[in-house]
Amino acid sequence: MSDVTLNAAAASPEAAPRAAPVTSTGTVAWLRANLFSSWINTAVSLALAYLLVRWTIGFIDWAFINAIWTVPMQGNVPQTQACRALEGSGACWAVIGEKHRFILFGTYPYEEHWRPLLVCALFIALYVVSAMRRFWSWVLIPIWVGTLTLIGVLMWGGVLGLSYVPQERWGGLPITLILSTFGLAFAFPLAVLVALGRRSKLPAIKTLCVLYVELVRGVPLISLLFMASVMFPLFLPEGMNIDKLLRAQVAITLFAGAYLAEVVRAGLQTLPRGQYEAAEALGLSYWHKTGLIILPQALRLVIPPLVNTFIGFFKDTSLVLIIGIFDLLTAGKTAIVEPAWQGFGIEVYVFVGAIYLVFCFAMSKYSQDLERDLNQHRRR
């Protein structure tokens, strides 16, 4: 090819760099297709955007610009006249500054608050370690056992120079984390066994699993907590008593296990029949076939509903209020019983809701990342 031809090709419009078609791809294209595709969609989108901006500006004014962060004290009585003078135009975050220890730790002895604080940190560290895939082996079991044992020692005390604190003094965030973590940790293996039992060819096992699931799912969690707290002690031998927190923990575990069992069973039924036949063709035993081939694929398929159930039960722990256990939400409600702070419940509920949001959003985000990583082979 001659130099003249090369120069003409280089100078042609087709060879020259062109700008990206922003109107047909990218953010602009998505906005045009989803929010401004017609005059009705445009009007609705603009109206919702206006309301969102108005609400955001109002919330910023209430939560930050017009908010009161501290109030003077007269003796041990807070002077909340400045907060009450706002009449809803600004938040009184002074209630959080005054009551945050009670909301987080309940009636746990004030001078020992470092112990439940350390317990919360240990729970978070345990969640982080469990989320790391390089720890997904048998080594994770002693990590869980050791951490949970240390948590029990810190909360109860009575050893290693720690003063004994009865369970009745526990409350706040540690109770929520204990009930949700222990409940789901024991409920998940129970759910797997029940789900496998419902698909068993042995009539006795299948019937027992079906009865358990249907009976537990047929009643609200409140009724199970009430039975565990009030009725169960009536059947115990005279002089024998089981801790109230343990009874609530068992009720939550049984309730969560029944719901999780149905989620796991859905994953087992979704798995193609060819996977079962291929495992049988390899000559694997039932437990090897289930543990190495069937169950990992089934659980991978139901990650979203599993995490949705986890999030639901994390919030349902607040129902232990009916049996006199002070979880995070209950401690928040009790914090504003004091006359000086009555009327500032919105600030307390926003604070408690933010804590729930952090934990629930973390679970949701992690499940999305985990699902994407485990299902990469499906996109190839």
Q: Indicate if 185 and 87 belong to the same structural domain.
A: no
Phi, psi of 87 (to 5 degrees): 55, 45
Q: Is residue 251 part of a domain?
A: yes
Q: Indicate if 94 and 197 belong to the same structural domain.
A: no
Q: Indicate if 133 and 261 belong to the same structural domain.
A: no
Q: What is the pLDDT of residue 22?
A: 57
Name the residue among 163, 170, 93 with its Cα closest to residue 327.
170
Mean pLDDT of the chain: 87
Which of 325, 353, 371 is a domain's end point?
A: 325
| Whole-number percent of the chain with pLDDT over 70 | 92
Taking a C-beta distance cutoff of 8 angstroms, is the pair 317, 271 a contact? no
Kindly report, residue by residue over 26-42, the tens digit of the pLDDT.
788 888 888 888 889 99
Which residues have C-beta within 8 Å of that of residue 71, sequence separation ≥ 6? 78, 79, 80, 82, 83, 92, 94, 98
325: tokens are 């256990």
117: confidence class by pLDDT, cuts 50, 70, 90: very high
Q: Indicate if 177 and 321 belong to the same structural domain.
A: yes
Q: What is the pLDDT of residue 21?
A: 60
Q: What is the CATH number of the domain that holds 206?
A: 1.10.3720.10
* Average pLDDT of the residues in 269-285: 86
> Strand locations in the chain, DSSP E?
73-74, 77-78
140: confidence class by pLDDT, cuts 50, 70, 90: confident
Q: Indicate if 185 and 272 belong to the same structural domain.
A: yes
What is the sign, positive or negative, of the torsion defined by CA atoms of 38, 42, 43, 44? Answer: positive
Residue 45 CB neighbours (<10 A)? 15
Cα 12 to Cα 5, 17, 19, distances in angstroms: 10, 10, 16
280: confidence class by pLDDT, cuts 50, 70, 90: confident
This prediction's pTM = 0.85
Q: Is residue 28 part of a domain?
A: no
105: tokens are 């730790």
From CA 192, how far away is CA 264, in angstroms rounded? 6
Q: Indicate if 351 and 314 belong to the same structural domain.
A: no
Q: Is residue 205 part of a domain?
A: yes
Q: Indicate if 207 and 310 belong to the same structural domain.
A: yes
Which residues have C-beta within 8 Å of that of residue 77, sequence separation ≥ 6? 340
What is the sign, positive or negative, of the torsion defined by CA atoms of 330, 121, 112, 241? Answer: positive
For 327, the 3-state DSSP assignment is: strand
Which of 279, 294, 325 is a domain's end point?
A: 325
Q: What is the pLDDT of residue 25?
A: 65
Kindly report, residue by residue over 159-172, the tens digit of the pLDDT.
888 999 999 899 99
Q: Is residue 12 part of a domain?
A: no
Which of 139, 164, 189 is a domain's end point?
A: 164
Taking a C-beta distance cutoff of 8 angstroms, is the pair 29, 22 a contact? yes
74: tokens are 């007269």
Least confident of 30-34, 266-270, 343-347: 30-34
193: confidence class by pLDDT, cuts 50, 70, 90: very high
Report how many domains make up the chain.
Answer: 3
> Strand locations in 199-325, DSSP E?
none
* 281: β partners: none
Q: Indicate if 246 and 228 belong to the same structural domain.
A: yes
Taking a C-beta distance cutoff of 8 angstroms, is the pair 71, 97 a contact? no
Q: Residue 85 class from Cβ within 10 Å (0-12 exposed, 13-18 middle, 19+ buried)?
A: exposed
Q: Indicate if 261 and 314 belong to the same structural domain.
A: yes
Q: Is residue 21 part of a domain?
A: no
Q: Is residue 88 part of a domain?
A: yes
Name the residue among 65, 62, 69 with its Cα closest to residue 80.
69
Name the residue among 3, 320, 285 with its Cα closest to residue 180.
320
Q: Is residue 242 part of a domain?
A: yes
For 172, the 3-state DSSP assignment is: strand
Q: Indicate if 199 and 283 belong to the same structural domain.
A: yes
Q: Is residue 303 part of a domain?
A: yes
Domain residues for 200?
A: 173-325
Q: Indicate if 341 and 258 belong to the same structural domain.
A: no
Q: Indicate if 194 and 299 belong to the same structural domain.
A: yes
